[in-house]
Structure 1
Amino acid sequence: MRRPFVRDEHQGGRGLPGSSKRSTAVWVLLALALVSINLRPAITTIAGAMGQLEATFAVESRLLPVLGALPVLAFGISAPVGPWLARRLGSGRAVAVALLVLAAALAARALVPGFLFPGTFLAGAAIMTASVLLPQIVKERRGTGWWTGLCTMGFGLGAALGAGLVQPLQSALGGSLAGALAVWAVPAVLGALLVRGAAGRGAGPAADTRASTTTAAPLRKQRTAWAVAAFFGLQAMLYFAITSWLAVFLESKGLPPAEAAALLAWFSLAGLPASLLAPVLAGKPRILRIMAPGLGLLIAGALLGVLAAPAGMQFALIGVLGFVQSAPFGLGMALIVIRSAGPRTAGRLSAMSQGLGFAAASLGPLLAGVLHGWTGGWTLSFLVLAGVALLVAVAGFAAVRGPVVSVGETAADRPAEPAAVGR
């Protein structure tokens, strides 16, 4: 007899009718999509308005690199919160709580005087709490690469909306930048309500929180875990460095602020197909072996192209950069799922990869900004970022060739039967 799509521990795992399982799958997919869309605007709205922060919030220009690094630093510090909260509330309810905190942080940093920096850090912590649990939820429900792709595409869509709507929202709100930033609390609340409803169709804490009856080496002693974490962290370092400073770089090329912000949004939009397809293609071993290291090489070439190109060619080259830069994020999320033995491991590997990875990634915006301030130009910053892209290739090579990561999975920890949706 097939095991249920969502296991109810309190009801002894009674099966659900096929239509109910499909309905639950659709509900969970919608929740995952809306959650992921909410996990980037907090960052890209600030990046898209970086040039106005000094006048609106009295932020000294020398502190802008710190502001760009704050959410990513919060990612690294708060990664263990997600698994801890999931053990007590269940993964879905834990994500709902994180989104409510995110909504409060987004509103407070824009509307409460002096709260821009603390609010940005708190928003980053809430984002990471939700983000580390997405691979665990996918693994629990035996979601395919399309599930992971939907999540990663949601990240890219949210990033694009955050960057692209800053100027229009500001105009619609009578020139209020604070209002344009605070409005993003609304979709965060909606996401919390939807994912809470999806969690209500499950049953309490996820099954992967049970104690294991098998033994395995700690994550810190498994080389594949470190390779996945390195791949995730290095690609994230590139992503946040680019999104933090791309608009400023484009303004130095002579583009007006509104056009520079639009190209930052284009960078995210161009990556949507890649973020969806990369997790799907990662399910094919022959493609995975080439894609993991190859993406790093492509990113290095795209960065050098954007650096050298005149303003008139930036639209095309930023589109290429957005495509190849978004694929490693989708692949990184997929590797957490693919290279894990089960949901328990996926949750732990997700916390390690995103926690350590984003802690390292916080150096990206800071490093690019410091190098720019030191040299007065962008050449050295882009060359260093291209070097980081080559390290992404090395980490990807190691991540797909090591043994599967496991922290010990019991029979009860194994995921339930997959739903028809997304297969």
Structure 2
Amino acid sequence: MKKPGRLLIIGIILYAGCMRTPIGLVSPLLTNIQRTLGVPASLLGSLTTIPLLCFALFSPFVPKLGQKYGNEVLMFVAVLILAIGNYLRVFSTAMLLGGTLLVGLSIAVLNVLMPVTIAQEYPQRVGVMTSVYTFSMTLFSALTSGQSVALAHQIGWQKTMQSVSVLAVLGLLFWLPALKNNHRATSGKKKGSSVWHARGAWYLSAFMGLQSLLFYTTLTWVPTILVSHGMSQGQASQLFGLMQLASLVTSYFVPILAYKFKRTRGIILSMTAGFLAGIGLLMVPTASVGLTVVVVVVLGLASNMAFSLAMALFNIKTDEPEQTAEISGMAQAVGYILAAFGPVGFGYLQQLTGSWNLPLILLLVVVVILALAGLAVDRRRTIFD
């Protein structure tokens, strides 16, 4: 491989590290943010909602911007904006909200175009590079969410949040070789058909949406559920970190297996079994550390299995990068709309019923629908069939 190829791999790893980290490290620092900036409690939830809405509303427009300016250039600009927006959001409430908006718009670009760029730059190694991308995203997110509070005690929460901007700037430096091979697509359609009119695209969008709903709902509420079962906040935090670390396994191997075998029925059924077991066991009100370790590990494996498979399917079920861009934009728009409602709806049902059982039962229903959508995609050679 030529030297620019090696540099670009590092760039992909660093860019992937910026795609969840700016959002994931906020939740553990909410108390610090509120105390220092005086942010109203009603606005704290928007620090997660704003990026999700950006993903949902902006993603469909990203492929067109890529066609106009080139994917690599657009991603470079997006990460530059991310670095600036993230750096500024620690100074005031207005900058916090404005910076979070810039971060959300920037990550929306990366979400859509990363699978496309991998297909264009590494057409013979798409499976391996998708694994590198999803693994890096998961690893950085797990490390930052687990260590952000400890780091904030050492250097302050402001510098802790701003450290993501350092990561972004490093990514920009390693992305420079990609600018020499800037891809401008002309069309993402096949035989005049829009991706929005393809039934297979809607199945894949449903799969992306439902796995996003499951991911963000469990990400938001699992620690609270564990505390309600009698665990301490410290235990719940450690087990939550274990859930994210467990997901590293599937984030690496699932894309490789999906590209190798093309048919993904086995992965989908394994994912479904994991979700059903993990969510079902969450309904058992126990403070047993042994059982809870099993629960969080199984949930972590299943959750990232679904996400990694969705990322792989964008390339597996399309014939050319332009189509990949369009289905990526569509599926992530639909997906993050569903994801934005998941945690809120789950919490509302718990408050309404006074129990976690009904919300968890509904999540089990979501898992079944997710599996059906995945199997419907698996039966098609491409989303246009």
CA distance in 1, matches of 2:190, 2:318: 15
Query: Residue in 2 aligned with 1:155?
Result: 137
How has the CA–CA distance of structure 1 residues 263 and 64 changed in structure 2, closer, same or farther, with 3 Å as cutoff? farther
- Equivalent AA in structure 1 for residue 13 of structure 2: A
How has the CA–CA distance of structure 1 residues 182 and 212 changed in structure 2, closer, same or farther, with 3 Å as cutoff? closer
Query: Residue in 2 aligned with 1:341?
Result: 319
Whether the 8 Å CA contact 2:229–2:286 is kept in 1: the answer is yes
- Equivalent AA in structure 2 for residue 180 of structure 1: T
Query: Residue in 2 aligned with 1:4?
Result: none
Residue 198 of structure 2 corresponds to residue 198 of structure 1: no
Q: 2:380 aligns to what SS in structure 1?
A: coil
Residue 158 of structure 2 corresponds to residue 172 of structure 1: no
How has the CA–CA distance of structure 1 residues 76 and 30 changed in structure 2, closer, same or farther, with 3 Å as cutoff? same
Mapping 1:95-174, distance limit 5 Å: 95-141=75-121, 142=123, 143-173=125-155
1:293-346 Cα offsets, whole Å, 9 max, x none, are 441342122112134252323233211211111011110000000000111111
How has the CA–CA distance of structure 1 residues 165 and 153 changed in structure 2, closer, same or farther, with 3 Å as cutoff? same
Query: Residue in 2 aligned with 1:303?
Result: 279
Deviation at 1:272, TM superposition (A): 0.7
Deviation at 1:133, TM superposition (A): 0.4
Query: Residue in 2 aligned with 1:247?
Result: 223
CA distance in 2, matches of 1:390, 1:110: 41
Query: Residue in 2 aligned with 1:321?
Result: 299
CA distance in 2, matches of 1:244, 1:214: 39
TM-score (norm 1): 0.82
Residue 329 of structure 2 corresponds to residue 351 of structure 1: yes
Query: Residue in 2 aligned with 1:272?
Result: 248
Residue 365 of structure 2 corresponds to residue 387 of structure 1: yes
1:89-142 Cα offsets, whole Å, 9 max, x none, are 322221121112222222222222344344333322211111110111122131
How has the CA–CA distance of structure 1 residues 217 and 111 changed in structure 2, closer, same or farther, with 3 Å as cutoff? same
Deviation at 1:381, TM superposition (A): 2.6
CA distance in 1, matches of 2:16, 2:103: 14
**Which structure shows the higher helix fraction?**
2
Q: 2:8 aligns to what SS in structure 1?
A: helix
Residue 42 of structure 2 corresponds to residue 93 of structure 1: no
CA distance in 1, matches of 2:148, 2:359: 26
Aligned residues: 381
Q: Pick from 216, 228, 239: which aligns with 2:204?
A: 228
CA distance in 2, matches of 1:128, 1:185: 17
Residue 4 of structure 2 corresponds to residue 28 of structure 1: no
Whether the 8 Å CA contact 1:65–1:365 is kept in 2: the answer is no
How has the CA–CA distance of structure 1 residues 251 and 399 changed in structure 2, closer, same or farther, with 3 Å as cutoff? same
CA distance in 1, matches of 2:347, 2:99: 21
Listed as ranges, the gaps of 5+ residues in structure 1 are: 1-20, 408-423
How has the CA–CA distance of structure 1 residues 350 and 317 changed in structure 2, closer, same or farther, with 3 Å as cutoff? same
TM-score (norm 2): 0.90
How has the CA–CA distance of structure 1 residues 55 and 260 changed in structure 2, closer, same or farther, with 3 Å as cutoff? farther
Query: Residue in 1 aligned with 2:195?
Result: 219
Whether the 8 Å CA contact 2:52–2:340 is kept in 1: the answer is yes
Query: Residue in 2 aligned with 1:188?
Result: 168
Q: 1:404 aligns to what SS in structure 2?
A: coil
Q: 2:318 aligns to what SS in structure 1?
A: coil
Query: Residue in 1 aligned with 2:22?
Result: 42
Identity of aligned residues (%): 26
Deviation at 1:80, TM superposition (A): 3.0
Listed as ranges, the gaps of 5+ residues in structure 2 are: none
Whether the 8 Å CA contact 2:277–2:298 is kept in 1: the answer is no
